[in-house]
Amino acid sequence: MIPRQEELIVSSTDLVDPCGEDSDTPVPGLVHRYPDRVLLLALDSCAAYCRYCTRSRLVSQGEMHPVTRRLDAIIAYLEEHTEVRDVLISGGDPLLMSDEPLDNLLRRLRGIPHLEFIRIGSRVPSFLPQRITPELVVLLRKHRVWLSLHFCHVRELTPEVAQACDRLADGGIPLGSQTVLLKGVNDSEEALKNLFHGLLKLRVRPYYLYQCDPVVGTAHLRTSVQTGIDLISKLRGHTTGYAVPTYVIDAPGGGGKVPIQAETLVAYENGTATVRNWAGKTYTYADPVEAI
């Protein structure tokens, strides 16, 4: 969270818009990349600023109007695009909106019959847990919203954060968490295990572990992909499946999220799959023999 001198070093592979979102933006504040779901950017401020932010080109730059001023165009686009069934509201942090405009946004989205799944991506439960008021929980439940939280280290799971997560879970809000793999912060088996076990205790399901996007000035925070593969291999099968998120690279250039894991399908020939388990042993599985 604290700026460091290394941020001034720009590496040749750094990108301003690492996930290529700008080229998938049909109306301002909406990224439509996958066939059935969209990313809605609600506002450009956060409760604190992650130094590795994938959207640092927009966030806190003061150039993006809040969603309240862009909403009509967004709603019109979504009404027209009946193939969209899932809206992810992110930003900036949507939970920095006060209850009334947030309620209005969710009500407008819920008025579109083909939108069956609405989630909010937020770091507010970790940065500003006092924002998780009983009134906010009622509002989120009323609109049947899922929450994607964001935690990078077990030290973020303070008693105040635990209370906020409890309030959300008790209020019936499904909770997932996203983590960015960061060099010197959480790039060890112990750090990730402690974080993911800590999240499960708070009824938060680790959802994605992101390879850090190559944002301008973040080379000092990034690990190799091999580091990520090795770390996930030390978790998968070795601990509760719910505690192991999907490790993904958000492909530079707009390819979307691509899951990465060590090869577990060693061979697959003549209807026989050879698989490698968590302990490194191999086994075979035979496909059903077709009836003659």
Active site residue 37: yes
Active site residue 53: yes
Which is nearest to 88 in space by CA: 120, 130, 61, 56?
120
The tokens of 172 are what?
């019936």
Q: Which of 53, 57, 144, 183 is catalytic?
A: 53
CB of 278 to ligand PLP, least distance (A): 24
What would the DSSP string read from start to end of 143-156? Answer: TTEEEEEE---GGG
Q: Which of 44, 208, 213, 247 is catalytic?
A: 213
Active site residue 33: yes
Q: Which of 17, 19, 44, 50 is catalytic?
A: 50
- 147 versus 191: smaller Cβ distance to ligand PLP: 147
The tokens of 209 are what?
């572990």
Active site residue 50: yes
- 39 versus 58: smaller Cβ distance to ligand PLP: 39
- 39 versus 147: smaller Cβ distance to ligand PLP: 39
- 39 versus 164: smaller Cβ distance to ligand PLP: 39
Q: Which of 37, 110, 119, 131 is catalytic?
A: 37
- 39 versus 115: smaller Cβ distance to ligand PLP: 39
Q: DSSP label at 29?
A: T
CB of 133 to ligand PLP, least distance (A): 27
Q: Which of 17, 19, 44, 46 is catalytic?
A: 46
Distance CA 18, CA 8 (A): 17
Decide if 34 contacts 84 (C-beta within 8 A): no
Distance CA 75, CA 77 (A): 5
CB of 251 to ligand PLP, least distance (A): 10
**Bond preceding residue 20 cis, omega within 30 of 0:** no
Q: How many beta carbons lie within 10 A of that of residue 134, not counting itself?
A: 10
Using CA atoms, how far residue 38 sits from 11, 117, 198, in Å, is 31, 11, 30
The tokens of 133 are what?
């008021």
* Nearest residue relative to ligand PLP (C-beta): 39
Residues that bind ligand PLP (CB under 6 A): 31, 33-34, 37, 39, 88, 257
Distance CA 15, CA 217 (A): 9
CB of 269 to ligand PLP, least distance (A): 31
CB of 57 to ligand PLP, least distance (A): 15
Which is nearest to 35 in space by CA: 88, 73, 85?
85
CB of 250 to ligand PLP, least distance (A): 6
Decide if 165 contacts 175 (C-beta within 8 A): yes
- 196 versus 208: smaller Cβ distance to ligand PLP: 208
Using CA atoms, how far residue 47 sits from 59, 124, 128, 195, 277, in Å, is 11, 6, 7, 21, 42
Active site residue 281: no
Active site residues: 33-34, 37, 46, 50, 53, 55, 213, 250, 257
